[in-house]
Structure 1
Amino acid sequence: MFGMASLPARLILLPLLLLFGACNANLIRGGHTLKDQKEFDFFTLALAWSGTSCSSVNDCCPTNGCCRSDVATGFTINGFWPDYNDGTWPSCCDGATYDQNSISVISGFLNTYWPAYNCSSPPACGVFIASNLAFEWATHGTCASPVLSNQYEYFSTALMLYFKYDITEILLKAGYVPSDTVKYPLEGITSAIKNALGVTPIVKCNGHSPIREIQICFDKTLQLEECPTYAPSKCPSKVKLPIKNVTQVPTTSNYLSFPGVLNW
């Protein structure tokens, strides 16, 4: 099923997450600098549609979710962002350096449901970052305190919310299935999510019609709330949910020893 963990896996994962889980980056999202940051106001869970993310793959490598069959189809996590009510956000806050070992127990789920769709990670907070998850922690996760105080809490909470409010499953049940040819009414997709969750999603598109991202928001007790809106959606009235086509990693490629860099 699109975007879903198997039922046994979800039954095991959700209690585990609930048990253990209860700057140059400003150029990417435009956040506050270290000198003037204050505690955030709410969380944004941003979900990328894998078919749109993989519609044009320039580089194929082991770190690119478009080149891996183990990455979920449907929506995957793009980010879990502490935000301000005025449309800005904190970034690169004080916090522990990213440590893969601290999230090893959920690394399999993160690889499947929070993938990168590229072969390299941009610098975060003025330094080289070796992975997509390291970028997310340095740029956004460090600003989630005091609600989420460490890496395990940050990543496990995002996974828990992703599974609990399964947008892919909501749309499938409403008849919105991945297709490269069918266009769906944007209002219908928005209504299906609002009817299921009680809040209005923010929908973003690529080009003329493919849905690129859907965002839902949470207060600092991790309850759903309406997202502040600062600009109207640029999506057309009819949108697509493209099928994810997996591009295979070339067997003749010679990858350098550090992540995300190709040597052809």
Structure 2
Amino acid sequence: MSFSAVRAAFAVLAVLAFGGEVRAQARHGSPPGEFDFYVLALSWSPAFCEAQGDRMSRSIQCGGDRQFSFVVHGLWPQFTRGFPEYCQVPAPELDRRVVNGMLDIMPAPGLIRAQWNKHGTCAGARSPAAYFETVRQARAKIRIPTEYENVQAALTVTPDEVEDAFVRANPGLTREMISVQCDDRRLREVRVCIGRDMNFTACQEIDRRTCRRERLMVTPVRPGRI
């Protein structure tokens, strides 16, 4: 077999292996309630709004005089390896009162519905309201470090500095229980692993996916606009 043929064969095997790994991560249609722990994803709202630009300028989250900092992206049931998703299709419809009751910490109705469809249906909650009450309990578990409560000017930080700030602010949280997410230059999200008992838990798979960039910008909270 020629060198080019060998190389092509290895390329095919690599694609198949990679594809298998990706498919193994998400387990579509798993039985509701079968998971090991939660990931609470906290999105840095100013970076999200900056990345979206004018498309989101009239939204609850990014428009007007709203000045959100960390908001809840979602509470995701996880396996030790991989995660369940879309465990009930079609998902039970969300009552408008449930959606409206979450807007203080998840300021986007579309996000709330999408998170319920993809992740909430996997939690095994007795109702959508019960799942979102768990979301609220998980959010209440986390104390946001004071340096990220009201950022008025851009900060330059390292991923380690973000993790350390959260560890200092939250007794019982360690670096093995948290992950920082970024884009090419900005802090985008902090993910915290929480057990089904609502205590922090180690999560190797989540932790090793933390941002590896040397420096990140923390986008300031946007000033109010009329």
TM-score, normalisation: structure 1? 0.64
Q: Is the 8 A contact 2:181 2:190 kept in 1?
A: yes
Indicate conservation of the 8 Å contact 2:38/2:76, yes or no.
yes
Contact 1:177/1:241 (8 A) holds in 2: no
Answering whether residue 55 of structure 2 is matched by residue 59 of structure 1, we say yes
Question: Which residue, out of 143, 146, 151, partners 1:166?
Answer: 143
Q: Name stretches of at least 5 consecutive residues in structure 2 with no aligned partner.
A: 1-21
Contact 2:151 2:220 in 1 (8 A): yes
Q: 1:236 to 1:102 in 2, by over 3 A?
A: same
CA 1:141–1:184: 2 relative to 1, 3 Å: same
Matched, 1:39 2:34: yes
Provide, for residues 161-211 of structure 1, a one-character-per-residue CA deviation record: whole Å limited to 9, x for no partner: 2133122xx242xx8862554312332221121233322220011212x11
* Identity %, equivalent residues: 20
Change in CA separation of 1:246 and 1:223 when aligned onto 2, cut-off 3 Å: same
* Letter aligned with residue 188 of structure 2: R
Q: Which residue of 1 aligns with 2:92?
A: 97
Work out which of the residue numbers 88, 94, 112 in structure 2 matches 1:133: 112
8 Å contact kept, 1:211–1:239 = yes
- Point out the more displaced range, 190-199 or 31-40: 31-40
Residue-pair matches, total = 197
Corresponding residue for residue 199 of structure 1: 174
Point out the structure with the larger helix share: 2
Q: CA deviation at 1:244?
A: 2.7
Q: Give the letter for the 2:214 counterpart.
A: S
Partner of 2:107: 115
- Distance apart, 1:75 and its partner CA: 0.5
Q: CA deviation at 1:150?
A: 1.5
Question: TM-score scaled to structure 2, two decimals?
Answer: 0.73
Q: Structure 1 244/94 Cα, relative in aligned 2: closer, same or farther at 3 Å?
A: same
CA RMSD across the alignment: 3.0
Q: Secondary structure at the match of 1:160?
A: helix
CA distance in 2, matches of 1:164, 1:180: 27
Match of 2:44 among 39, 43, 49: 49
Are 2:71 and 1:76 aligned?
Answer: yes
Q: Please tell me whether the aligned partners of residues 98 and 137 of structure 1 are also in contact (alpha carbons under 8 angstroms).
A: no
Which segments of 5 or more consecutive residues in structure 1 lack a partner in the other structure?
A: 1-26, 117-129, 250-264
With over 3 angstroms needed to count, the CA separation of the structure-2 counterparts of 1:194 and 1:32, relative to structure 1, is: same
Inter-CA distance 194–35: structure 2 relative to 1 (3 Å threshold): closer
